[in-house]
Homo-oligomer: A and B are copies of this chain.
Amino acid sequence: MKLDTAGLRVLTREECLHLFTLTPVGRIVFTDRALPSVQPVNFLLNGEDIVIRTSTGSKLAAATRNAVVAFEADEIDVTTRTGWSVTAVGHARAVTDPAEIELLSALPLVRWLPGDQDHFIVVRAEQVSGRRIV
């Protein structure tokens, strides 16, 4: 078992990718007008891609276009001092190919916000890291 300097268990890539399948909400981290920005989103892991559904005109859609972003998910219980956190870093891209949009539309990715969410952002999980409190 590998521990980091803070005494947290370092997770393998496989463990991290598995944990991404256990929660429907994560946070996408990007730069918006030169400032760090973070937004919670509903997502689905599709292979090694983080798939996010948003509206075409959203700030998120504009700011993440061809940018390198981070995507984080966690489950932490401070009372029992247990939990984990996983982060993927990679290029984000807007999906524009109609065939790919049709494929992604068929995923069980719930539209949970009131407005149209007909725009897909895909983040390739190029670097993955994670920690578990032990």
Interface residues of A (CB under 8 A from B): 5-8, 24-25, 27, 29-31, 35-40, 42, 54-55, 57-58, 68-70, 72, 74, 76, 78, 81, 85, 87, 89, 110, 112-115, 127, 133-134
By a CB distance below 8 angstroms, the chain B residues around A30 are 36
Select A38's contact among B35, B87, B114, beta carbons within 8 Å: B87
In the assembly, how many copies of this chain are there? 2
The 8 closest A-B pairs by CB, nearest first: A7-B114, A36-B70, A38-B72, A7-B115, A29-B36, A24-B78, A29-B38, A40-B85
Name the one of B72, B112, B113 contacting A27, with C-beta atoms under 8 angstroms: B72
Cross-interface CB contact of A76 among B40, B110, B134, cutoff 8 Å: B40
Q: Which of B27, B35, B68, B81 contacts A68 (CB 8 A)?
A: B35
